[in-house]
Amino acid sequence: MTKAEAIAMSARELAQYIIYDKELFILDVRNEADYENWKIEGSHIESINIPYFDLLEGVDTALAQIPSNQEVLVVCAKEGSSIFIAEQLIEAGLEHISFLEGGMKYWSEYLEPVRVGDLKNGGAVYQFVRLGKGCLSYMVVSGGEAAVIDAMRMTEQYKLFADVLGVVIKHTMDTHLHADHISGGRVLAEQVGATYWLPTKDATEVTFLYEGLEDGRSLTIGNTQVMIKALYTPGHTIGSTSFIIDDHYLMTGDILFTRSIGRPDLAGLAEDWAGDLRESLYDRFAKLSEELIVLPAHFGSIDELGEGGRVADKLGELFRRNAGLNMGDEAVFRKLVTENLPQQPNAYEEIRQTNMGKLNPTAEEQRDMELGPNRCAIHDK
C-alpha cells in the first residue's frame, strides 16, 4: 500500500455524514482530555479514542476495535498524525479508511450553509451551521442585498456565498458582544464596505466605530422592503438584542435556544443579569406571536439539527417544551441561572477583549482561543 491510498475526507464531506445521518466510524487519535472535552458527534456516528502515542508501536489495539465493513475516519488535531495512522491501518489490511483533512482545526472552522426559508416579498434566510462548534450565523437576502447576523471570523465563506447568490453584503450585525467565538462582523463589514451594527449597551468599551442597535430600530434589506427590527432582550449580556425578520423569523442570539436558555455570567454579572434574562424570556418573548420561527445563535447537541441540518423551531413550541421557559417559581429560575452553570468557554475573557478591539491575536492564536465547544447555554438537569 502506498501513501497516496490514505484518502482525505474534507470537512464538507464529513458534514454530509452528520446532516444526512450516514454511518461513519471515527478513530480519534488526540489525547484523552481533548477527546473528552470536544469530539465529532452525530446520530449515526460511532467514535473511539486511542491516543496517537499509544499506536506508534503498531495499530493492533485499534484493529481489534474497528469494524471491517464500515467507513472509517481517522481524526487528529491538525491532520499529520491521522495520515500516519490511516496508512498503518491500510497496510494492516483495512479498507474504506480516510483521514480528516486539516484535522479538528479545519472542522472547527467549517460552515455549512442551509436555506431556512423564503421571505414574503422575495428573498430568503440562510443559516450557516458551524457543526464543529455548535455556532449559528445568518444571511438575510433580498433585492440583491444581504445582511449577515452573528458572523464567524471565517469571513471568506460569507463573501463566497454572497457571490454565488449574486448579492452585495450591505450590513453586518451582532446580536451581542460574543464571548465564545471571535466575531467576524466588523472585519466582514470592512472587507465589503458594509455597515457594522452592535448593541449600544454592549459597546461601552469597544475601540472601533460602529452603528448602535437600539430597541425598535428597523433596517431595510433590498428593494423588497424586508424589515429587520431590533428587539432589546438583555440577560445573556446587558445589550443582547434579538431581531424580528419579515414578521416571520425571530433571531434570538444567545438568549434563547431550541432546547435551553442563555447563561448570564460571562461578564461576571450573573446575579445582576438573572432578572433581565427572566424578563426577556418570560415577558418580552411571551408577547410575540407563537408562529415566529426561532433562529438561535447556537445549538448544544447534534440532535437539535432538523431537516437539511437547520436549527429552528416555532416560538410556541419552545414555550411548550423548553424547560428554561417553564419555571413558574422565580427563585428556582434564579438558582438555575446563577448556580447550575456549565464550564465556561475556552479563553472567553480573551475572546471578549478581542471582540472589543482591545486584543489583536494572530489567525493561529484566534483558532487556539476558539478550540472546543460553545458553552453559552444553561440546561436544566
Catalytic positions, written as ranges: 76
Q: 460552515: which residue's cell?
A: 111
Write the CB contacts of 157 (distance below 8 Å, at least 6 apart in sequence): 111, 128
Write the CB contacts of 67 (distance below 8 Å, at least 6 apart in sequence): 25
Cell readout for 115 is 436555506
Secondary structure of residue 367 in the 3-state scheme: helix
Residues paired with residue 142 on neighbouring β-strands, in sequence order: 145
Q: What are phi and psi of 320, to 5 degrees?
A: -85, -30
Q: What are phi and psi of 353, to 5 degrees?
A: -65, -35
Contact 235, 253 (CB under 8 A): no
* Residue 215 burial (10 A CB sphere; 0-12, 13-18, 19+): middle
**Residue 151's Cα: distance from chain center in Å?**
10
